Amino acid sequence: MAQDSQDSPLEQVGAIARDWADRAGEWLGANFNVSDEQLAEILQTVREQLPTTEVWLLGKPQSGKSSIVCGLTGVSAEIVGQGFRPHTQHTQRYAYPSDDLPWLVFTDTVGLGDRPQNGRSPDEALIEELTTGLTTEDNSDNQRSRIVVVTVKASDFATDSLRKIVSRVRRRTSDVPCLLAITCLHEAYGDREINHPPYPPTNRGNSGNKSENFDDLERAIAAISKSFDSLADRVVPIDFTQPEDDYTPVNYGREALINALADLLPKAEATAIHRLLDDDALTQIGGLYRGAARRYILAFSMATATLAAVPLPFATMPVLTTLQVSLVGLLGKLYGQTLSPSQAGGIAGAIAGGFIAQTIGRELVKFIPGFGGAIAASWAAAYTWALGEGACVYFGDLMGGKKPDPKTIQTAMSKAFKEAQERFKNQDFS
C-alpha cells in the first residue's frame, strides 16, 4: 500500500540521522589515519595551548618525593618509576599524563646529600642545575608555571643542609613559589597502631580523643614549619602510605596538597590541576591497569574538552583526533603493546568508527546545531572517555590472548559514553 513507502517525519529524521552517523563513522575511521608527521605537528601546537605546571621536588632520598608523584596522579609506583627519564645529572623527569601531553611535569632531584666526588659536593651541582632549570625561559609559547615542593619527613630534624640548599635556590628564584610537604606523619604518632586523626592533624585541642597521642606529631610539625619559616610559602602535612599499611585514607592530606598547589599557582594552572587530579570521576577503580588507564583517560578527556571549548587557531577535529590517537597509543603501551602513531590511529579508527555509526547517531543530530562551546566540550570529553574505555577492552583482550570482540567493545563504549556524558554535563570547561 502507498502507506508503506511513506515514512513518518520521525522515521525520516531517523533515517537521516543514521545516514549521517554512518558517514561520520566512515569519516572518522578514515581520519584517524593521520600521518606521523602531522600528528607530531598537531601535538606541538596542542602543547602550546595547554598550560604546563612544573613541580620541582627537592628533598633527601627516601623523604617521599616519588610518593607525591604517585599520590597526586594515582599512577602506580612501578609506572611512575618507568616513566621517569634522566633529565640532567641530578634530576629526572616524569610527564603526566604523557610526554605528548605534559600537563604536569615532575622534576625529581636525586643524590641530594651524597658524598663529595672529586672534591665537589653533588649538592653544589644540584643547586646550579635547579637555579638554571627554574629560571630558564621556555622558548616555546607554552605557558609554564613552576613550583618547588620540598619534602621533609615528620621525624627528621636534621635539615640544616637541605635548608641551606633551599635558601640558596630561592634566593635566585624568588618568584617561584615554594611548598613544604611534611611527610610520613604516622612515624610521629604516639602509638603506631592508631589511624590518622581527622585532617588537619594540628590544633587537635579539645576535639581529639584524649587516649590518642598526637602531641609529638604536633610538636614535630610546628618545629619543622618554624625552621622553614622564611623559606616556604605554605606547609602541608601529608602521609601518602601504601594500601597494605592499613591507614585510611591511603593518601592522607592529598586534597590539602592539591589545594595548596592550586593556591600558589596562576589561575589557568590552578584550574587545570583541580580538573586533572579530581578524584570524583575515579572513585571506583578496579585493577591496576584499569586504574592507571582511567587516570590517563580522564586527563585526555579533560584536554579534549578544554580544546573543544576554546576556539583554536586551527580546526578542532584533527586536534581531538590527534589527542585520541595519542591516548590509544599510551593505553597500548600500558598494556604492553608498542604502537607507532599510525598503528594507534588505525586501532582508534577501528574502535571509533563502529561506535559512532551504531551508538551515537542520535547524539550527533542533537549536537550538530549547537556545535560549539559547552555542548561540544562535554561531548568531546565523553567521547574521548568512551574511546579510552573501548581501547582498554581491546588491549585487555589482546593481553589475555583473546581476539578482541567488536560487540563487547561497543557495549563497553556505549555504557562509558552515557556515564561520561552525565559526569561531564555540568562541568565548566571555559
- Under the binding rule (CB under 6 A), the answer on residue 29 touching ligand GDP is no
Interface segment toward ligand GDP; rule CB under 6 A; list 16-24, 164-172, 182-190, 319-327: 182-190
Minimum separation from the CB atom of position 147 to Mg ion (A): 18
- Report, in Å, the least distance between residue 277 CB and ligand GDP: 17
When asked if residue 173 is in the footprint of Mg ion (CB under 5 A), the reply is no
Binding partner of residue 238 among Mg ion, ligand GDP, none, CB cut-off 5 to 8 Å per kind = ligand GDP
The item of Mg ion, ligand GDP, none sharing an interface with residue 62, based on CB under 5 to 8 Å by kind, is: ligand GDP
Joined grid coordinates for residue 12: 525520516
Number of residues lying near ligand GDP (CB under 6 A): 18
Which among ligand GDP, Mg ion, none contacts residue 64 (Cβ within 5 to 8 A by kind)? ligand GDP
Q: Which of residues 5-24 bind ligand GDP (CB under 6 A)?
A: none
3-state secondary structure the chain: CHHHHCCCHHHHHHHHHHHHHHHHHHHHHHHCCCCHHHHHHHHHHHHHHCCEEEEEEEECCCCCHHHHHHHHHCCCHHHHHHHCEEEECCEEEEEEECCCCEEEEEEEECCCCCCCECCECHHHHHHHHHHHHHHCCCCCCCCEEEEEEEEEECCCCCCHHHHHHHHHHHHHCCCCCEEEEEECHHHHCCCCCCCCCCCCCCCCCCCCCCCCCCHHHHHHHHHHHHHCCCCCCEEEECEECCHHHCCCCCEECHHHHHHHHHHHCCHHHHHHHHHHHCCHHHCCCCCHHHHHHHHHHHHHHHHHHHHHHCCCCCCHHHHHHHHHHHHHHHHHHHCCCCCCHHHHHHHHHHHHHHHHHHHCHHHHHHHCCCCCHHHHHHHHHHHHHHHHHHHHHHHHHHHCCCCCCHHHHHHHHHHHHHHHHHHHHCCCCC
Residue (of 105, 80, 34) closest to 323 by Cα position = 34
Please pick, from the candidates 7, 13, 30, 61, the single residue that binds ligand GDP as defined by CB under 6 A.
Answer: 61
Among 52, 241, 322, 378, binds ligand GDP (CB under 6 A): 241
Least Å distance, CB 290 to ligand GDP, is 22
Nearer to ligand GDP, 183 or 324 (CB): 183
Note whether 66 binds Mg ion by CB under 5 A.
yes
- Among 145, 183, 322, 421, the residue binding ligand GDP under the rule CB under 6 A is 183
Does residue 73 bind ligand GDP (CB under 6 A)?
no
For the CB of residue 372, give the shortest distance to ligand GDP in the complex, in Å. 44
Q: Is 410 in the site for ligand GDP (CB under 6 A)?
A: no
CB of 282 to ligand GDP, least distance (A): 21
Q: Which of 25, 29, 51, 64 binds ligand GDP (CB under 6 A)?
A: 64
Give the β-pairing of 144-153 and 102-109. Answer: unpaired
Interface with ligand GDP, residue 184, by CB under 6 A: yes
Residues 244-273 that bind ligand GDP (CB under 6 A): 245
Q: Which amino acid is at 303?
A: A
Q: 108: Cβ–Cβ under 8 A, 6 or more apart, which residues?
A: 57, 65, 66, 69, 84, 91, 92, 93, 94
- Dihedral sign computed on CA atoms, order 65, 71, 72, 75: positive
**If binding is defined by CB under 6 A, does position 62 make contact with ligand GDP?**
yes
Binding site partner of 242, from Mg ion, ligand GDP, none, Cβ cut-off 5-8 A by kind: ligand GDP
Calculate helix-pair angle for 36-49, 341-359, nearest 10 degrees: 80
Q: Which is nearer to ligand GDP, 238 or 392 (CB)?
A: 238
Closest to ligand GDP by CB, 61 vs 116, is 61
Q: Which does 81 bind (CB under 5 to 8 A by kind): ligand GDP, Mg ion, none?
A: none
Q: C-beta of 221: minimal distance to ligand GDP in Å?
A: 13
63 vs 324, beta carbon nearer ligand GDP: 63
Q: Is residue 107 close enough to count as binding ligand GDP by CB under 6 A?
A: no
Kindly state whether residue 238 participates in binding ligand GDP, applying the rule CB under 6 A: yes
**Stretch 300-329 residues interacting with ligand GDP (CB under 6 A):** none
Binding interface with ligand GDP (CB under 6 A): 59, 61-67, 151, 183-184, 186, 238-242, 245
The binding site for Mg ion (CB under 5 A) comprises 65-66
